[in-house]
Amino acid sequence: MEYYITVEPGVRIYVNDINPQGEKPILFMHGWPANHHLFEYQYNELIQKGYRCIGMDVRGFGKSDKPVYGYDYDTSADDIRCVIQALNLCDLTLLGHSTAGAVAIRYMARYGGYGVSKLVLCAAAAPSLIQRPNFPYGLKEEDVLQIIYNTYQDRPKMLEDFGEMFFYQPVTEPFSRWFWSLGLEAASWATAYVSCAWLYETLFDDMKCINVPTLIMHGIHDEVCKYPLGVAQHKGIKGSEFITFENSGHGLFYDEKDKFNCELMKFVGEK
C-alpha cells in the first residue's frame, strides 16, 4: 500500500508499505542521494519470509515532496516521527543507511526511540561524516565541498562519479544506470542541502541516548562512510553488535546481499 503522509503544511512524505499484513515491521531509511527502491533486494526476500517492509522516501527524494527547506537532521527525524505515528507503528525495527543512519540516531535521541524496539545502522554517516579536530576519520571537508559544487555544476556527472565509488563488487552497466536514475529523482537543491548538513551535523552525544538493541553493519572497503565510523558507532552505542563486511563498500546491502539479508533477519527475529 502506498501513502502520502503530511508531516507539515505543504510537505508530504511518500511511504510504500510493501507487505502491510506481514509481521515484525522494518522501516527502511535510504541514504543520499537515492530513494526507498535502494532496498529492492531486501524487500524481494523479506516479504517472501513474511516480514512487513516499509520503504520511506525522505523529503526531497524519490516521490516525497521537495520543499526548499528542512534538510537538517532534526527535521528529518521529525518526519520519521510523523510517519511512525501516522502508521501506528510499534515494536519497529528502524534501519538507516548512510545519512539516514545518522538521522536514525538523531531520531532515537530526539524522540526517545518512540515506536522503535531495534535499530539497524548500515554504513551510517555517524558520528560525523567528515574529519574534525576530535575525530580524525571520515571524509575531508573539501571533499564534501566538491560534491556540493559538482551538484550545482553537473549533477548527472556527480551522481555517476558517486556511483563508481558506491559498490565494491562489480555491477553491470544496466544496474549502474538504474542506481544513477534513483539519484536523478531527487531535487537538485535537496541533494545539495543534505550535503551541506554533513558539514555541521554530529552525533557523538546522540549515540549515548540509544537504549535499544542495535546492529551495526559496515563494509571495510567503504569509500563514503569510512570503516572507522562503524567502529566509532560500536564504541559509542552501549551494547551494540558490530558485523564487518569483508567484501563490501558503501553498498553492502548489494555487495554482500545474502549475508546482509541473513544478518538482518537474524537480528529482527526469525519467523
Q: Which residues are catalytic?
A: 98, 222, 250
Residues 6+ apart with CB under 8 A from 143: 130
Query: In terms of C-beta density within 10 A (0-12 exposed, 13-18 middle, 19 or more buried), how is residue 172 classed?
Result: exposed
Which triple of cell numbers denotes residue 65? 515532496
Separation of first and last alpha carbons in the chain? 22
CA–CA distance, 128 with 134 (Å, rounded to integer): 10
Distance between CA 22 and CA 47 in Å, rounded? Answer: 7
- In angstroms, rounded to a whole number, what is the distance separating the alpha carbons of residues 57 and 35? 5
The cell numbers describing 51, all together, are 516480514
Cis peptide before 174 (omega within 30 of 0): no
Contact 255, 222 (CB under 8 A): no
AA identity, residue 51: Y
- Residue appearing with cell numbers 505543504: 10
CA distances from 37 to 28, 55, 149 (A): 10, 8, 26
Contact 102, 203 (CB under 8 A): yes
Q: Which residue has the cell 567528515?
A: 130
